[in-house]
Amino acid sequence: MTITDTPLGAHDGVTEHDLWELDRPAVARPTWVGGKRAFDILVSGLVLVALLPLFLLVAVAIKLDSRGPILFRVRRVGFRGQVLMMLKFRKMHRFAKGGPLTQDGDARLTRLGKILTKTRLDELPQLWDVFRGRMSIIGPRPEDPRFVALHPHDYEVILSVRPGMTGLSQLAYAEESRIIDDSSPIEDYIERLMPQKLTLDKLYARDASLGMDLSVIWWTLATVLLRRPVAVNRRTGQMNIRRRPKV
């Protein structure tokens, strides 16, 4: 799959050279950073081995469902502004093009891709990125360079820690593709969703701890098992099951 650089219109205006000037930490690293890396290696290694049969099953299903590679890499901004070519199972048609956001009912998705997106199975290959040290199990959402360029000062803080497979903003906006405005997804994301996600990602980067990471893991598992959205307090990072609106 080819990832295209779709312009962001009036919101664009920072060059790629400026983007990589984020290559410096802006806040103190978490006190348990050594233990966190050891945790990432242990967990990602064990899960990769345990899920090998599932990886093979998904790989076969992708090849049977549509033409194209099993895996692809999508360009994101990683730790301290480094380029992160994040690994995923392919969920779109071979020559799909378009913007960086996946919308609900996206026509670019294959039949299997719709299932992979809904179940988040397309993200599992990132365990290899975690094992190699490019990502962490828990951390801020890895973002597209074009969006990072819009908030360079915020990302000086956010990129002082490794991006994660799950985290505060990932839990709070697990249903992003469903709630985004289909008529103007880029504008809606930039103006409405992104500022709230930046708040959560900066909160994690500044206050990351063993306790917070364990809490994120707990609520990630609860979300997967209960199939219920999680609410995250933007001031404290406290999480709980989001209440369903009364009819």
Of all residues in the chain, the percent with pLDDT exceeding 90 is 60
Which residues make Cβ contacts (< 8 Å) with residue 242, sequence separation at least 6?
Answer: 228, 229, 230, 231
* End-to-end alpha carbon distance in the chain: 43
Residue type present at position 90: R
Residue 13 domain flag: yes
> What pLDDT is recorded for position 71?
95
Residue type present at position 24: R
Q: What band does 31 get if pLDDT is binned at 50, 70 and 90?
A: low
Q: What band does 83 get if pLDDT is binned at 50, 70 and 90?
A: very high
> What pLDDT is recorded for position 10?
36
Bridge pairing between strands 71-77 and 83-89 = antiparallel
Residue 133 domain flag: yes
Compute the distance between CA of residue 141 and CA of residue 159 in angstroms, rounded to an integer: 10
Residue 199: pLDDT over 60: yes
Residue where the block lists tokens 């080819």 = 2
Residue 182: pLDDT over 80: yes
Report the pLDDT averaged over residues 188-217.
93
Residue 247 domain flag: no
Range of the domain at 64: 9-241
Residue 1 domain flag: no
β partners of residue 241: 230
Of all residues in the chain, the percent with pLDDT exceeding 70 is 85
Residue 2 domain flag: no
Residue 99 domain flag: yes
Compute the distance between CA of residue 88 and CA of residue 65 in angstroms, rounded to an integer: 16
Is residue 64 within 8 Å of residue 37, measured between CB atoms? Answer: no
Residue 4 domain flag: no
43-63: per-residue pLDDT in tens? 999 999 999 999 999 999 999
> How many folded domains does the chain comprise?
1
pTM above 0.75, yes or no: yes
> What pLDDT is recorded for position 46?
97
Residue 246 domain flag: no
Residue 239: pLDDT over 80: yes
Residue type present at position 116: L
